[in-house]
Amino acid sequence: MDLSATGDILLSGILRGGLFVLIAMGLSLVFGVMNIPNFAHGEFYMLGAYFSYYAYAVFGLNPILAIMAAGAGGFVCGAIMERTAFRSLRVRQKTNWVMNSFLLTVGLSIVLQNSAQALVGTKFMGISQYWQGSVAIMGMNVSIDRLAGFGVAMATVLLFWIFLTKTKTGNSIRAVSEDESGAMLVGINLNRVYTLTFSIACMLAGIAGAALLSINPAYPTMGLAPLYKSWFIVILVGMGNVGGTIIGGFIVGMVEALSYYNLGAGWQDVISLLVIIIILLFKPSGLFGKDVKGVWER
Amino acid sequence: MMQTETNQNLLLSMKKKNILRELGFTPLGLGLLILVALVPLFIDNQYYLHLIVSSLMFGALAMGFDFTVGYINIVNFGYAAFMGVGGYVSALLATRLGISPWIGIFVAAAAAAVLGFLIGILTLRLRGMFAAIMAWFVGIVLMSLASNMVDLTRGQLGLNVPLLFTGSGKAPYIYTILAIVILTYIVLKRMISSKIGLAFNAIGQDLEAAETSGVNATKYKVLNFTVSCAFAGLIGGFYGHFVGILTPAVLHTRVTVEILALCYIGGRGSIWGGLLAAFLIIPIFEFLRPLMEIRLIIYGLLLVLVMIFYPGGLAQFLNQLAFYLKDLMPFKKQA
């Protein structure tokens, strides 16, 4: 492997990884705070792609505004979903919450996917690019679009991180993820935190879908691949570890770029999974996982 | 003389009933199965017969799925992949080595069981959700392999599979899959009503408590997983030889989700609920085909509503109904 190939792999791994981080973060957040293993997370990615398509290609908004619109759309849809489905389940069922909420998200995923298909049909809705042109980095041409997508992802992750660690609301989310009853004792409104958490997670997925629109056109079943990739990451770093997803996202991105370069398209899932399975054999709780035993019981 | 004869008859009929009970059949359930077996004698419409085969097939899959989710409380999210593995194994044996499908489907069951066993050993030491996700990942890998190993599986082009019976009639398929359904049901039900089933239930309800009282949880979980995967492989083998073509789409998560929905709408932890749900939902959806997406939205909503409001599903509903009907009976036994 010569130097330019290494650069090639490194760059494409980083660009891939950045967006994986953005998607996986929402998944990890929802699991960490609400203990929901979300199977419908990919559907919010899909919704984001559609929102940005309509905002950019149909209503002619500026790309940044289109991506923000997709984020806002994801936020609202997430809030509706949480208020209607998950709150009803939470009120009714206390035992076996992890498994039941997982199955609930499976149902939601079917509903969202097929609603999209019923409303807009099965044709690919893509755009050629948000921004024109390309730049040369380390001897290879990278379209500005991909760089901008990466930039959007990183900026969102940064903003979200600041929100989580520096603001009072962000701190209350973290408090709930650490100790639910403790958080309730100090006067945190759990229902409000849950709704906010779920909406933010959906917003992050929506932004990712919008940022990748020029590479992956909007399509009703487009959510599955990003869903299981973000699950790779979340399992790899340990479930519910939001900070760890940043590193995990780049690892998975890099593994994929490597396998893509060496074996061609189609094998990346096999390779990244083998890597993950091997890691988990030695460290079952994930790379940075703590003992999350308690969570599984609920 | 007369008296003793009637008594003996009574005794004999009671004994018969007990054998049926022991195999897990209620008179009503047995009657319905016989009804299904009689259908090909009266209906000649191949399309309807095809629907019946599909319902039985998905019903059997839902039963195997329920065996894991309803008892040890682990969602085998790669279930369709185990079925697909069975399908491919049997198909490849038939096309490459010329082995009869009748042997092939049992080899398929064994292959799926071995795979399930290995994955079970790897993942089932971990907590339920984790095992579910890992099974899902394995399913994704198997699907990737099926579409990438073009030399072996012909990938997306689809593998042509020799049919189980010559001729276009569907009736022999109905009897074959009916036999598989009955075998599945009896084996699963027998296991559940034995001591093993008690251990499964204990593990499913409270893992910690079960382990504390000396149940080797991992052993039973792996056993359960292996049996459930074996049936997926068996039915998958049948599927290939029934449809005549296999594509990697058989292993897709979508298929698992469909089986899962049948199992939950039917009622988890009942085994027969999934079969009943398959018989209600698959034909109804087939007739709603013009509505396409709408019917799948209804499907998803049904799953969501059952999850939130009625977790017992169809099985619980019918059990409660039977309970009330018994209560209304005029000649109730006095306690």
For residue B307, the chain A residues in CB contact (below 8 A) are 89, 100, 103-104, 107
User: Residue A294: what pLDDT?
Assistant: 40
Write out the DSSP string of A21-55. Answer: HHHHHHHHHHHHHH----SSHHHHHHHHHHHHHII
Work out the percent of chain A whose per-residue pLDDT is above 70.
94
- Closest by CA to A87, choosing from B304, B74, B298, is B304
Q: Which residue of B has its CA nearest to A231?
A: B133
Task: For residue range B98-150, list pLDDT tens digits in order.
Answer: 888 888 889 989 999 999 898 888 877 776 777 788 888 888 888 888 888 77
Task: For residue range B99-108, list pLDDT tens digits in order.
Answer: 888 888 899 8
Report the CATH number at residue A290: 1.10.3470
Give the residue from A90, A92, A110 with the most B CB atoms within 10 Å of its CB, the best one to mutate.
Answer: A110
When pLDDT is cut at 50, 70 and 90, the band that residue B24 belongs to is low
Q: Which residue of A has its CA nearest to B258?
A: A110
User: Which bin fits A119, alpha (ψ -120 to 50), beta or left (φ > 0)?
Assistant: alpha
Q: Contact A37/A31 with Cβ under 8 angstroms?
A: yes
Domain boundaries defined on chain B: 43-252
Task: Look at A85 and B304 and tell me if their CB atoms are within 8 Å.
Answer: yes
For residue B68, the chain A residues in CB contact (below 8 A) are none
Bridge partner list, B160:
B245
Task: Look at B129 and A296 and tell me if their CB atoms are within 8 Å.
Answer: yes
Cβ under 8 Å to B: A residues 132-151: none
DSSP state letter for A1:
-
Query: Does B291 lie at the interface with A, CB-CB under 8 angstroms?
Result: no
pLDDT of B237 over the 70 cut: yes
Q: In the numeric block, which tokens belong to residue B255?
A: 């298929």
Task: Look at B292 and A118 and tell me if their CB atoms are within 8 Å.
Answer: yes
The pLDDT of B54-72, averaged and rounded, is: 88
- Which of B125, B137, B208 minimises the CB distance to A273? B137
For residue A106, the chain B residues in CB contact (below 8 A) are 257, 260-261, 303
Q: In the numeric block, which tokens belong to residue A196?
A: 């906010």
Give how many domains chain A has, as a whole number: 1
Query: Does A104 lie at the interface with B, CB-CB under 8 angstroms?
Result: yes
Supply the mean pLDDT for chain A.
83
One-letter-per-residue 3-state SS of chain B? CHHHHHHHHHHHHHHHHHHHHHHCCCHHHHHHHHHHHHHHHHCCCHHHHHHHHHHHHHHHHHHHHHHHHCCCCCCCCCHHHHHHHHHHHHHHHHHHHCCCHHHHHHHHHHHHHHHHHHHHHHHCCCCHHHHHHHHHHHHHHHHHHHHHCHHHHCHHHCEECCCCCCCCCCHHHHHHHHHHHHHHHHHHHHHHHCHHHHHHHHHHHCHHHHHHCCCCHHHHHHHHHHHHHHHHHHHHHHHHHHHCEECHHHHCHHHHHHHHHHHHHHCCCCCHHHHHHHHHHHHHHHHCHHHCHHHHHHHHHHHHHHHHHCCCHHHHHHHHHHHHHHHHCCCCCCC
Minimal C-alpha gap between B127 and chain A (Å): 6
For residue B207, the chain A residues in CB contact (below 8 A) are 297
Query: Does A94 lie at the interface with B, CB-CB under 8 angstroms?
Result: no
Work out the percent of chain A whose per-residue pLDDT is above 90.
13
Minimal C-alpha gap between A166 and chain B (Å): 32
Q: How far apart are alpha carbons A188 and A190 in whole angstroms?
A: 6
- Closest by CA to A207, choosing from A288, A150, A138, is A150
Q: In the numeric block, which tokens belong to residue B178?
A: 């009916």
Q: Give the residue ranges of DSSP H helices in chain A.
A: 3-34, 41-53, 63-81, 87-92, 97-120, 144-166, 168-178, 180-185, 190-211, 224-237, 244-263, 268-282, 293-297
What dihedral do alpha carbons B58, B59, B60, B61 form, nearest 10°? 50
Task: For residue range B251-264, list pLDDT tens digits in order.
Answer: 888 888 888 888 88
The pLDDT of B43-59, averaged and rounded, is: 84
For residue A239, the chain B residues in CB contact (below 8 A) are 130
ipTM of predicted assembly, 2 dp:
0.79
When pLDDT is cut at 50, 70 and 90, the band that residue B4 belongs to is low
Task: For residue range A272-296, list pLDDT tens digits in order.
Answer: 788 877 777 777 677 776 654 444 4
Which DSSP helix (H) or strand (E) runs through A142? strand A140-143
User: Residue A206: what pLDDT?
Assistant: 92
The pLDDT of A214-218, averaged and rounded, is: 83
Task: Look at B133 and A270 and tell me if their CB atoms are within 8 Å.
Answer: no
Cβ under 8 Å to A: B residues 97-126: 122, 125-126
When pLDDT is cut at 50, 70 and 90, the band that residue B172 belongs to is confident
The gap between the terminal CA atoms of chain A, to the nearest Å, is 49
Q: Contact B125/A284 with Cβ under 8 angstroms?
A: yes
pLDDT of A218 over the 80 cut: yes
Supply the mean pLDDT for chain B.
81
- Which of B136, B260, B297 minimises the CB distance to A118? B297
Q: Which residue of B has its CA nearest to A102?
A: B129
Task: For residue range B75-104, list pLDDT tens digits in order.
Answer: 888 899 999 999 999 888 888 888 888 888
User: Residue B1: what pLDDT?
Assistant: 46
For residue B129, the chain A residues in CB contact (below 8 A) are 37, 98-99, 102, 296
Q: In the numeric block, which tokens belong to residue A186?
A: 């100090």
Query: Does B141 lie at the interface with A, CB-CB under 8 angstroms?
Result: yes
Least confident of A3-7, B54-58, B297-301: A3-7
Range of the structural domain that residue A194 is part of? 3-297
Work out the percent of chain B whose per-residue pLDDT is above 70.
88
- Which of B148, B297, B307 minimises the CB distance to A114? B297
Task: Look at B300 and A266 and tell me if their CB atoms are within 8 Å.
Answer: no
Q: How far apart are alpha carbons B116 and B314 in whole angstroms?
A: 29
Query: Does B301 lie at the interface with A, CB-CB under 8 angstroms?
Result: yes
Work out the percent of chain B whose per-residue pLDDT is above 90.
7
What dihedral do alpha carbons A199, A203, A206, A212 form, nearest 10°? -160
Amino acid at B208: E
Task: For residue range A167-211, list pLDDT tens digits in order.
Answer: 888 888 888 888 888 888 888 888 889 999 999 999 999 999 888
Bridge partner list, B327:
none
- Which of B128, B145, B307 minimises the CB distance to A296? B128
User: Residue B3: what pLDDT?
Assistant: 54
